[in-house]
Amino acid sequence: MLTSTTRRKRAASILALAATLVLAAPVVEARPGSGSSGGMGSRGSRTYAPPSATTTAPGAPAPIQRSQTQPGPAMGNPGMNTAAQPGRRFGGGFMAGLLGAGLLGALLGGGFFGGLGGIASFLGLILQVGLVVLLVAFAVRWFRRRQGQPAAAGLSRSNLDGAGANPGPMGGSPLGGAPMGGNPGQAQRGPAPVQPVQARPVQIGPGDFESFEIALNDVQAAYGRGDVAALRNLATPEMAGYFIEELQANEARGVVNRISDVKLLQGDLSESWGEGNAEYATVAMRYAIKDVTLDRRTDRVVETGEPEAVELWTFVRERGGRWVLSAIQQGR
């Protein structure tokens, strides 16, 4: 039988264990961009393509699942790629109906057009049917020849105009002028096909890497302070909007995320390219970070983050402009 002293000791042990479980902060990532189940932001035409592997991030990163960039059709405009439906041949249904009605009328004694009867009428019907068939066959061959000549001529011209052409970066001539062999005053026969985005190489130097490291520290610090104005200056409007959503969600929960001691440990370039007037660079970064989530009223730690993180950050700028953050993907 348990004594009162034993009961008190057991109750005290249970209460201590419960207090330990309640006070123990779970390890949850709360830094900017980590709350998404996948990556977020935009990488131009490569938004839904995985970045190239690097020494810092050798595995495939989390794919981008939140983006304002919509995935386009694989082969341009889907409305231009549907196969042409075979059209009805000339006289196919209408004439067949007439012939069928005539034969049926002959067999029933009504004649081809209502005036034939008997065996003699049937022989006359056969002659009329043969004549009509010959006329229809002649008309079909004549229309086919008329329709086939322009199509063949257009195909020949298209092949000659495109043979040996070396399109420039924007789909024109090698020197960016008018296409070779073309006539500027000649109207086009139809809408031009949708061309894929032409990417060009972009050189990344030491100054760019320094900008990326500074951006890593500045974005994390602004997020930890809840500085919306700074986030809008450091990231694209899309990314700033995602950060603001996360901050508002923390506020609704009654918590605040504090970030400090951010230090880049390793980083390398995954890929860089240009599209139009925009230049992109995706960088893999492994960095140390102190990431805690506090209760707003009591400052009690409710969540803690891992001391290190591996992420791929994509930056964008206009030519000669300043780099801003446009996407974050969690490394694996």
Predicted TM-score of the model (pTM) = 0.57
Position 89 scores a pLDDT of 35
Q: What is the pLDDT of residue 137?
A: 77
Q: Look up tokens 């400090």; give the residue.
A: 260
Cα–Cα distances (Å) from 131 to 84, 112, 253, 329, in that order, read 33, 13, 88, 75
pLDDT of res. 198: 81
Cβ atoms of 265 and 57 closer than 8 Å: no
Say how many CA atoms lie within 13 Å of 44 toward its Cβ: 24
- Amino acid identity, position 74: A
Domains of the chain as residue ranges with CATH: 24-65+199-330 (3.10.450)
281: helix, coil or strand? strand
Q: What are the 10-residue block averages of pLDDT along the chain, 332 residues in total?
A: 56 48 47 68 96 95 94 44 36 41 45 49 68 74 61 36 36 36 46 64 96 98 96 98 97 96 97 97 98 95 94 95 97 84
What does the pLDDT read at residue 154?
40
Distances (CA, A) of 72 to 8, 76, 195: 69, 8, 12
Query: Given this model, what pLDDT does residue 147 score?
Result: 57
pLDDT of residue 9: 57
CA gap 138, 140 in Å, rounded: 6
What burial class does residue 312 get, using C-beta atoms within 10 Å of its C-beta: 0-12 exposed, 13-18 middle, 19+ buried? buried
Q: What is the DSSP string of 217-267?
A: HHHHHHHHHT-HHHHHHHB-HHHHHHHHHHHHHHHHHTEEEEEEEEEEEEE
Task: State the distance between the two ends of the chain, measured CA to CA, in whole angstroms.
Answer: 56
Q: Strand 301-304 to strand 278-295: parallel, antiparallel, or no bridges (unpaired)? A: antiparallel
